[in-house]
Amino acid sequence: MRGFPAKLRLRPGLFLALALAGTSLTACADLDAALFGDEATYAELDAPMAPAATVPATGGFGNTSVPMPVSASPVSGGAPVVTITPITISAGPDTGTQVNRTVQSIRAQVQGLQQRISTNAARLADLRNQGAAAAQAYQGSKARITARLQIGTTRGNPELVAEWNSAQTSLDSLTGNINALNALGTGVTNDSSAAHFALNQIAATRNVSGAVEEDHRQLALLEDETSQTIVLIDRLLKEVSDNVQRQTAYAANERSNLTLLANAIKSGELFGGLTTPVTSGAMTSQQLASAGSPLVVIKFDQPNVDYQQVLYAALNQALQNRPSAGFEVVAVSPSRGNAASVQIAQTPARRHAQDVIRSMTDMGVPATRLGVASTTDPGAAGNEVRVFVR
């Protein structure tokens, strides 16, 4: 398994066996080899998992000439329809004053924001449907594997290996969908900043001398329309953020299930049902304070934080003291800035938490012993992940 030193690699099931026996964890052979052996038949299963969702450096989604209502039409059994309806920005006569020229410039900015709302809403609709299709394809492959294992099959059945690869491909597609949603969220956040700047420009223009009554009438109307634009952008941003959080948690949980399935395919039988880790959702500051001292705190204040060795030692010690222990992984982000900034800052924190969960399952922690939550902390200097014993 890639991503941490060889001495941290554990054979599947060893963690649980040692925990139940009350003994400490020990290093052993490479997890990939333990799962599938070295035969060429299983070579494709040894492919690395797709990385966690990242925000691309650039992203653009084009423009629409006329703002139109956009709705996300769900695939069969998909999410409810979400409709974002851009408003029409009213035109006004040119009074010939300098103030009116400023009004026209601001109006053009707000009209551009309305066009981007329409474009981004359509993009969100597409990504939601693509994510639902990828999830359905993944669940279909997983169900076929589970059903075949349930009735009994040969060890390392190549047909199930191929089905497993198909399931992983579908899950990789979902990870790419999360990347695109993150990029979309960045663009919508930029639009939110531009809309607030336009609102401030309108307020400042009111105090400029040399205006006529018509100029102030247009300013008042444009102020109302800009405020409505901000409401639409904030709603779209929330929709994007909710989709990122939901899909990220789902993808991370299913990575754990894929590992369990790989072990089952190797053995030709299920060792128990696939169980999705319990997701606690949001955690309040009071709940965080009452959780006690964390087992380990991982600060993501630089790229490529090497935390696996410390995490492994902490888990080992916790299980020596209490073999039946479970763990709560909490994504913590700072609570500085406006609501949009705080919401965007939570996305990388949750992504780091899912990376930590993936590392813990790779080390052998059963998925049923893991929970994940997220919260904000005014005392946090940056994004961090705290692991508690429960």
Position 387 confidence tier, pLDDT thresholds 50, 70, 90: very high
- Higher per-residue confidence, 73 vs 171: 171
- pLDDT average, residue stretch 73-88: 61
Which percentage of the chain shows pLDDT scores above 70?
A: 72
For position 35, what pLDDT does the model report?
37
> Where is average pLDDT lowest: 39-43, 304-308, 315-319?
39-43
Which of the residue ranges 196-210, 266-280, 332-346 has the most confident prediction, judged by mean pLDDT?
196-210
Q: What is the pLDDT of residues 235-281, one digit of tens each?
A: 999 999 889 888 888 888 888 788 878 888 887 876 544 444 444 55
- pLDDT average, residue stretch 80-101: 83
Domain spans of the chain, in order of start: 49-272
For position 5, what pLDDT does the model report?
35
Q: 144 pLDDT exceeds 80?
A: yes
- State the pTM of this model: 0.53
Contacts by residues 298-303 (CB-CB < 8 Å, ≥ 24 positions apart): 298/352, 298/356, 298/384, 298/385, 298/386, 298/387, 299/381, 299/382, 299/383, 299/384, 300/348, 300/349, 300/352, 300/382, 300/383, 300/384, 300/385, 301/381, 301/382, 301/383
Average pLDDT, the chain: 76
